[in-house]
Amino acid sequence: MFRYEKDQDNIITITMDMQNRSANVINDEFGKLFQEALEKVTQDKDAVGVIITSAKSTFLAGADLESLYKNKDAQSIFDMAENLKKGFRLLETQGKPVVAAINGSALGGGYELALSCHRRIALNNPKTVIGLPEVTLGLLPGGGGTVRLPRLIGLQNSLPFLTEGKKLKPVPAQKAGLVDDIAESQEEMIAKAKEWIKANPKSQNPWDVKGFKIPGGDPRNPKIASVIPIVPAMTRKKTFGNYPAPEAIISSVVEGAVVDFDTASRIESRYFTKLATGKVANNMLTTFWFQLNSINAGASRPKNIPPQTTKKLGVIGAGMMGSGIAYVSAAVGIEVILKDATLEKAEFGKSYSEKLVNKAVAKGKMTKEQAQALLDRITPTADAKAVEGADLIIEAVFEDRKIKATVTQESEAVMDSTGVYASNTSTLPITGLATASVRPEKFIGIHFFSPVDKMPLVEIIKGEKTSDETLAKAFDYVKQIKKTPIVVNDSRGFYTSRVFSTYVLEGIAMLGEGQNAQYIEHTGLQAGMPVGPLALTDEVSLSLMAHIRKQTEEDLKAEGKPLPTHPSYPVSEKLLELNRPGKAAGAGFYEYPKDGGKKYLWPELSHLFPEKAQLPQQEVIDRLLFVQALDTVRCLEENVVTSVADANIGSIFGWGFSPFLGGTLQFINSYGLKEFIQRANELQAKYGDRFAVPQLLQEKAAKGEKF
């Protein structure tokens, strides 16, 4: 329902309060309620102005994406966008001043409603964010955002908010011109809204005033005209043409800026419809909206176990990973004991947090008091007894079974008897590590990604004896530190490390076949990966990869299983022989100038691995993408990863699989299962059994199913 109240000054307050929903959303119900409220406003001759606010903690969350996702009819989507804008347009042209009292987050359609008001006042709540993030889901704002925002703050100023989905909190939003005023309380916000209405009885938005000109000029202005052609080129340089939304937004903004308001709105609706019916938006909505929300809502968490809060955390190992874990934990109020072999090493680990908070203070994102409070929660130590009473311990030492076993036994002797012990390992099976524990049911893997403070994903690995209570504790801790958890079963390399390796190994193999190194790297980017496979190998280091491979071979030999082979191995071994393990050593596939200059591919690569006829770019792209997708299916088949959502989100957040494809399994769905199998068979015939089609994929294709 929408509450419709009029005070003694004849100012109407419309309070959006949709029933049985935690947030107001734009759907058919909203459209009906909004239309009813508009009719009351236009018919009320005594009313002098309107305030629109919300009874929820957010202002308006935007469109109901579920109904949009299900709708594949272009005409229906176009009509939906036009009808929404018709209501917004009537609101701003009905003659009475309208104020948006933004009491919480206003994103997407929520902010577009605010833009159609004559004034925007935001409550200065730290949880409130304002912006138009549709581009992050492969869409553009379809409620007038590409028309009104450029007319409000100018073409150039509006593009970062539209093409990047940039969101702001109230104070910076006011500085940027997204809102006109801010208030410190609900009462002050409503009072300010009423004062403005009384002072501005006849209000129009600037673009409805005769003689209006876009701030800074429209595309016909020489200054703007000289910049406009550069913007699409810069965008394509970042996106490699894989993301149609930013380019559609630029087109909608530029084309809409040289025509009247209503024509500009129709132009926007056409671009919106094209995107909404396209593959990229479908992929991104599937993964970044539905599947990510499912994960964050606890789909992989054991049910019927009460929420658990981590209060005291022990971090064993103050290296890069341990230091990052300490920081993100202290940042949410957890007491952290950071232990290493010496106090000096532990204090050095804490200095990582000091650098991060100093940067935050310098940028105004944190006060000195907040920074000090965070640092005070981290206690560096060399004393194993300092973790006494910890309800969670995370070991983050070197990938060596003996070292890990020693610190496990040392820590379990003093930690809380009901606490959970976790190993931050990227490859070593958890069940094997748990043999060093006196309570393997309380032992679990928590795999972080570097740098911990920036990477959004954490992979939780269940051992054979890990209890549901332990899994729930780990899941809740990951949510507590504001990361996204995926849950996988125990396996060599688990899910992320295992499948990630297929990408870099395929790139290395192609170098050995005679493909140009620069061509391989560029094609990796063209495929949508964040970094080329050779550069990524240098970041990880060939020496670490060789160590993991050696450990794997020893384990398999002990188990009487065949040893793995891969065409990339001879290339890796050659570089290791030449003492070129990677970036940390200053030499790998790339050269890293000692003066800090830009890295460049080692010129000798073309001599070591003579170039032959270059493959078509699509062939290289297919090899790099298919090898990852096929191994993900094997992980699903082997019950390593147990949900499609975990697989897709894990692939994107974990190692950067092409986001526009929606993750490794959504890539197969979008490609078409039968077509994917046919192409994989072609690749297998040319390059080997790593492209063999798993039985699970064949079965799904035969049944006409998708992942």
Q: Which residues are catalytic?
A: 447
Strands 49-54 and 98-102: parallel
CA separation for the pair 552, 494 (Å, rounded): 13
Looking up tokens 């080329």, which residue turns up? 532
Look up residue 241 and give its two tokens.
């043409």
Spatial distance between the Cα atoms of 347 and 345, rounded to a whole number of angstroms: 5
Give me the amino acid identity at 12: I
In the 3-class helix/strand/coil scheme, how is 473-520 assigned residue by residue?
A: HHHHHHHHCCCEEEEEECCCCCCHHHHHHHHHHHHHHHHHHCCCHHHH
Whole-number Cα distances in Å, 628 to 236, 498, 698: 25, 9, 17
DSSP code per residue over 90-110 = HHHHSSS-EEEEE-S-EETHH
- Specify the residue for token string 């269940």: 462
| β-sheet bridge partners, residue 551 | none
**Beta strand 181-183 with 119-123: parallel, antiparallel or unpaired?**
parallel
Helices 673-687 and 617-637 cross at an angle (nearest 10°) of: 110
Give the angle 655-659-663 at the CA atoms, nearest 5°: 70
> String of b and e for 653-664 (b: at least 16 CB within 10 Å)?
bbbebbbbbbbb
Q: Distance between CA atoms of 569 and 590, rounded to whole angstroms?
A: 18
C-alpha distances out from residue 138 to 432, 446, 632, 661, Å:
43, 31, 24, 11
The first and second tokens of residue 697, run together, are 């994929």
Question: Checking DSSP bridges between strand 98-102 and strand 106-107, what pairing results, if any?
Answer: unpaired
Give CA separation, 655 vs 29, 231, 580, in Å.
Answer: 40, 29, 23
Q: Which amino acid is at 41?
A: V
Identify each DSSP E strand in 194-322 by its residue range: 312-316
Q: Pick from 13, 100, 25, 101: which is nearest to 62 by CA?
A: 25
For residue 54, list its beta bridge partners: 16
Rounded distance, CA 392 to CA 115, Å?
Answer: 47
Name the 3-class secondary structure at 611: coil
